């Protein structure tokens, strides 16, 4: 007759396996929730830029940095072997949103540079007494 303690071993191994699966499922859910939070944040920043509303870049930067730290922790907790096709799909979706956000930020930055250039030229023109202007140089060349 088998010892009752040997009957418990397989059950305990099974319980441990079930607990491990539950932990992995919880970690995957945490990962998915983190990706969704980052997506909402990136979408909000992109929409704000596209609607030409004032943007608090330091606040968005702080929130994105914190969210990416959470994502890094979630991915480390899962481990590389636990990553599956669904997670890759979520990351691909996030990557696409980040690329759109980057393109929108680049447009905004280009516009800021152009405005800065216009302001710089206006200040230089206002401060100039004409001594080194090209029209003076051309008059000197013609004489």
Lowest mean pLDDT among 64-73, 102-111, 123-132: 123-132
Q: Is 52 left (phi over 0), alpha (psi -120 to 50) or beta?
A: left
As a whole number, mean pLDDT of residues 7-12 equals 49
As a whole number, mean pLDDT of residues 75-104 equals 92
* Phi, psi torsion values for 130, nearest 5 degrees: 90, -5
Q: Residue 116: pLDDT above 90? A: yes
* Phi, psi torsion values for 54, nearest 5 degrees: -60, 140
- In this prediction, residue 48 carries a pLDDT of 96
Inter-residue contact 36 to 89 (CB < 8 Å): no
Across the chain, what does the average pLDDT equal? Answer: 84
Q: Residue 59: pLDDT above 90? A: yes
- In this prediction, residue 10 carries a pLDDT of 46
As a whole number, mean pLDDT of residues 104-118 equals 94
Q: Residue 5: pLDDT above 60? A: no
Report the C-alpha gap between 138 and 48 in whole angstroms. 48
Q: Residue 120: pLDDT above 70? A: yes
């Amino acid at each position: 007759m088998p010892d009752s303690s040997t009957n418990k071993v397989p059950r305990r191994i099974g319980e441990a396996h079930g607990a491990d699966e539950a932990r992995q499922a919880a970690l995957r859910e945490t990962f998915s929730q983190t990706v969704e939070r980052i997506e909402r944040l990136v979408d909000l920043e992109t929409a704000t830029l596209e609607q030409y509303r004032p943007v608090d870049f330091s606040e968005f930067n702080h929130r994105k940095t914190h969210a990416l730290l959470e994502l890094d922790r979630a991915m480390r907790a899962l481990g590389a072997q636990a990553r599956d096709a669904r997670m890759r799909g979520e990351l691909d979706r996030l990557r696409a949103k980040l690329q759109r956000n980057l393109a929108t930020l680049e447009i905004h930055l280009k516009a800021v540079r152009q405005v800065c250039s216009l302001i710089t030229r206006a200040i230089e023109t206002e401060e100039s007494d004409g001594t080194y202007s090209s029209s003076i140089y051309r008059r000197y060349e013609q004489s």
